């Protein structure tokens, strides 16, 4: 399933894998401490999902390789998913362009919400002062996004306070889904969500808690690795990728999560900052 080759296939690189707040320390070194940011490549076609603190390092890499345009897909506007936006190098560089897509605001763009956050006295610079060409696109979660080059990305609403958006990418016979910030139904996998991810080669899944922890966190809008495996089995997906790690879970705790999840569903991985997974053309 994974290969070091496959530049024409589907690739995903994790620049931030935490939820809620960045964390630091030697005990978090292997899995990383930055919040959500994921790079998806469909061949040479680039998408970036979420603008957590991890997007700062990604921005430097994109600036170094001369990428002229970035389509940034936001799952939602909670702080841990947008805090890195003003530090994203392509948005700070004249001649570059960034289009920000947001789907959990009933068709409204993210512009007004981001402007409230990134303005004095909370932040010294407003986003409209960024030197790049920054544009905003709003849509309703559940719609299919169509791009000028013919690329299409499917979306799905997720169960999260104020809503969130899941994404499904398809390329060269491979499919990747991104499901961060959702709360599962304790009765079992949601049939609509099962249909959305059915047959995917890989699903990035919000596995912030174990079932033992979840009982104290009902209503927070997050899920468990156990619910992730249940969804993966029901939808017949290839690989489950645990994501949005609790900032309290150090490397030892994450190792235990990963070991239990692999025992329940072989092939499961817990995402690590800096990790790249490659799915060659089918």
102-147, pLDDT tens digit by residue? Answer: 998 888 999 999 999 999 999 998 988 899 999 999 999 999 999 9
165 CB-side CA count, 13 A: 30
- Rounded to 5 degrees, φ, ψ at 78 are -65, 150
Q: What is the 3-state secondary structure (H, E, C) of the chain?
A: CCCCCCCCCEEEEEEECECCCCCCCHHHCCCCCCECEEEEEECCEEEEECCCCCHHHHHHHHHHCCCCEEEEEECCCCHHHCCCHHHCHHHHCCCCEEEEEECECCCCCCHHHHHHHCCCCCCCCCHHHCCCEEEEEECEECEEEECCCCCEEEEEEECCCCCEEEEEEEECCEEEEEECCCCCCCCCCCHHHHHHHCCCCEEEEECCECHHHHCCCCCCCCCEHHHHHHHHHHHCCCEEEEECECCCCCHHHHHHHHHHHHHHCCCCEECCCCCEEEECCC
Query: Can you give the pLDDT at residue 6?
Result: 52
CA distance 21 to 52: 9
For the chain, residues with pLDDT lower than 50 are 1-5
Question: Which structure tokens are listed for 1?
Answer: 């399933």
Please state which CATH class domain 10-279 belongs to. alpha beta
Question: Which structure tokens are listed for 34?
Answer: 């930055």
- Rounded to 5 degrees, φ, ψ at 137 are -130, 130
Q: Please report, for the chain, the start and end positions of each structural domain, with discontinuous segments joined by +.
A: 10-279
């Amino acid at each position: 399933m994974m290969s070091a080759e496959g530049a024409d296939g589907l690739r995903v690189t994790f620049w931030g894998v935490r939820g809620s707040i960045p964390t630091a320390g030697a005990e978090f070194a292997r899995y990383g401490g930055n919040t959500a940011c994921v790079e998806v490549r469909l061949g040479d076609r680039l998408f970036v999902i979420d603008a957590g603190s991890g997007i700062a390092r990604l921005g430097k890499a994109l600036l170094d390789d001369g990428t002229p345009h970035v389509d940034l897909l936001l799952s939602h506007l909670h702080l841990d998913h947008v805090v890195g936006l003003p530090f994203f190098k392509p948005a700070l560089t004249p001649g570059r362009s960034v289009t920000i897509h947001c789907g959990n605001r009933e068709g409204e763009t993210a512009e007004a919400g981001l402007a409230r956050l990134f303005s004095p006295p909370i932040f010294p610079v407003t986003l409209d002062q960024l030197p790049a060409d920054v544009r905003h696109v709003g849509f309703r979660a559940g719609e299919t996004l169509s791009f000028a080059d013919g690329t299409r990305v499917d979306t799905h609403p997720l169960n999260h306070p104020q809503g969130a958006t899941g994404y499904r990418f398809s390329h060269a016979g491979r499919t990747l889904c991104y499901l961060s910030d959702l709360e599962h139904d304790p009765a079992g996998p949601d049939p609509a969500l099962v249909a959305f991810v059915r047959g995917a080669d890989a699903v990035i899944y919000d596995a912030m808690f174990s079932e033992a922890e979840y009982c104290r966190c009902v209503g927070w809008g997050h899920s468990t690795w156990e619910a992730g495996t249940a969804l993966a089995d029901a939808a017949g997906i290839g690989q489950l990728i645990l994501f949005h790690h609790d900032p309290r879970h150090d490397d030892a705790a994450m190792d235990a999560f990963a070991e239990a999840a692999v025992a329940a569903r072989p092939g499961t991985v817990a995402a690590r900052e800096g990790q790249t997974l490659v799915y060659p053309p089918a």
